[in-house]
Amino acid sequence: QSVLTQPPSMSGTPGQRVTISCSGSSSNIGIQTVSWYQHLPGTAPKLLIYINNRRPSGVPDRFSGSKSGTSASLAISGLQSEDEADYYCSAWDDSLNGFVFGTGTKVTVL
Amino acid sequence: EVQMMESGGGLVQPGGPLRLSCAASGFTFNVYGMGWVRQAPGKGLEWVASIGNSGDDSYYAASVKGRFTISRDNSNNTLFLHINSLRAEDTATYYCGRWQLVGGNWFDPWGQGTQVTVSS
């Protein structure tokens, strides 16, 4: 059962900016850092953002993360066809004493 | 290069046991926590379990607690997930990941996954 809520789908044309929201609570996003993953089913999930807004080496700067209160967001600017994938936010939850993942957002490039 | 390779999946009967393995390489295994997530067909990612670097502390999702056991063999750089009393709802692709705890909590990188199908 997902504790973090994301929009099921979003779409955009090449070059556009897409922002995915992730809504949590005071026991997870409110007091813990957020990470974001890109996933194509059947392949290894890929870390895009950690500690709210940090990008691992190799992740294009088109991807950016932010956090405010109990919500976080992932922005993809200059959308490209290879960005078509599922995106998940995640955080540690102090009440559950474990990780929680978002419901996932499927991004389609029109 | 940091790599994880899962194995042990397959077609298994309901009620049976199963052990998944994750062979890690390219990093000092006993310094890092590790974890498992899964993705059922048509569903999103679900965290399953995590274990600290020494193996002394483990954490489980409520949906699997009592049936799943995470363990590790630091001498052989291998992570395990022991599953008992398999149910149809355990059908999923299981991924192992390196758990990073410096300044926050996240997984990087992940393995390619191993498919588990529970069916008679």
A52 CA to centre of own chain: 10
Q: Is A40 on the interface with B (CB under 8 A)?
A: no
Whether residues A45 and B97 touch (CB distance < 8 A) is answered with: yes
Residues of chain B contacting residue A45, judged by C-beta atoms under 8 Å apart: 37, 45, 95, 97, 107, 110
Whether residues B106 and A51 touch (CB distance < 8 A) is answered with: yes
Residues of chain A contacting residue B63, judged by C-beta atoms under 8 Å apart: 1
Q: Is B93 on the interface with A (CB under 8 A)?
A: yes
Q: Is A2 on the interface with B (CB under 8 A)?
A: yes
From A28, which residue of chain B is nearest by alpha-carbon distance?
B105
Question: Residues A33-67: pLDDT tens digits?
Answer: 999 999 998 899 999 999 999 999 999 999 999 99
Whether residues A92 and B45 touch (CB distance < 8 A) is answered with: no
Residues of chain A contacting residue B45, judged by C-beta atoms under 8 Å apart: 37, 39, 45, 88, 90, 101, 104
Q: Is B35 on the interface with A (CB under 8 A)?
A: yes
What DSSP assignment string belongs to A51-83?
TTTB--TTS-TTEEEEEETTEEEEEE-S--GGG
Give burial (CB, 10 Å; 0-12/13-18/19+) of B5.
Answer: middle
Per-residue pLDDT band for A2 (boundaries 50, 70, 90) equals low
pLDDT over threshold 80, residue A108: yes
Q: Which of A99, A100, A106 to mutate to test the interface with B (most CBs of B within 10 A)?
A: A99
Whether residues A47 and B109 touch (CB distance < 8 A) is answered with: yes
Predicted local confidence at residue A42, as pLDDT? 83
Per-residue pLDDT band for A1 (boundaries 50, 70, 90) equals low
Min Cα separation A46/chain B (Å)? 7
A79: Cα within 13 Å, side-chain hemisphere: 20
Question: Residues B27-81: pLDDT tens digits?
Answer: 999 999 999 999 999 999 999 999 999 999 999 999 999 999 999 999 999 999 9
Lowest mean pLDDT among A69-73, A89-93, B87-91, B99-103: B99-103
Q: Are strands B3-7 and B10-12 parallel, antiparallel or unpaired?
A: unpaired
